[in-house]
A = this chain, B = another copy of it.
Amino acid sequence: MSNPLIITIGREFGSGGHEIGKRVAERLGIAFYDKELINLAAEKSGLSGEFIERHEQRSQGSFLAGLAASATYNGGYFSPQNMSLSENIFIAQAQVIRDIAEKESAVIVGRCADYILSERENTINIFIFAPMEKRIERVMKVYSLDEAAAMKKLATSDKERGNHYFRYTDRKWGKAQNYDLCINAALLGIDKTADMIVDLAGIAARA
């Protein structure tokens, strides 16, 4: 396979998925995209409605159904003015993700990248999660929070990520069949989980 390798990582907040993605990218010597994506997307979405119009038809699912309905209400044509800011951002992010996948191998964390690249070859989609008690422990440590605050942060994040994923993909977040590999990061720990993903990518490339 000659096109760049893309590893997408969906992850529960507090699972260590972001850290694992970073190490995978380092070990494979490929790019890593997470919050950087938002910045890239922000630049792009600052461009114009014309940009969005040019790319909106590439999105699918319930979001697309919403767009179609919106076009109907407007007498049959699509109007970017009807979209919320988050929809504009999603479209811009999706384009950034496709641009990355065209030009270089990368690990991409979050942003529904698994869905956006679902028809692409040489793409491995991973979902990382961990038992609730381990996530609470990690969030307390990383964000210096007490247990109650960590639990609240986790509940909010799970709800938001699940809703966002469903809204833009029409698929259930964390459903095994949406990915190639789902792993409990607590089983091996962050470092060895990263190793395993690196090994997996190597074997898949030779398969």
Residues of B within 8 A of A204 (CB): 187-188
Q: When the two chains form their complex, are residues B203 and A192 in contact, meaning their CB atoms are under 8 A apart?
A: yes
Contacts of A183 in B (CB 8 A): 180-182
Check if A176 sits within 8 Å of B182, measured CB to CB: yes
Query: How many chain copies?
Result: 2
Are B200 and A129 in contact, CB atoms less than 8 angstroms apart?
A: no
Contacting pair B189 A179 (CB below 8 A):
no
Question: What are some 17 contacts across the A-B interface (CB < 8 A)?
Answer: A127-B182, A129-B177, A174-B175, A174-B177, A175-B175, A176-B176, A177-B184, A179-B184, A180-B183, A180-B184, A181-B184, A182-B182, A187-B207, A188-B203, A188-B204, A192-B203, A196-B196
Q: A181-B184, A182-B183, A188-B207 are in contact. List 10 more A-B contacts (CB 8 A).
A: A124-B187, A127-B182, A129-B177, A174-B175, A181-B181, A187-B204, A187-B207, A189-B207, A192-B203, A199-B199
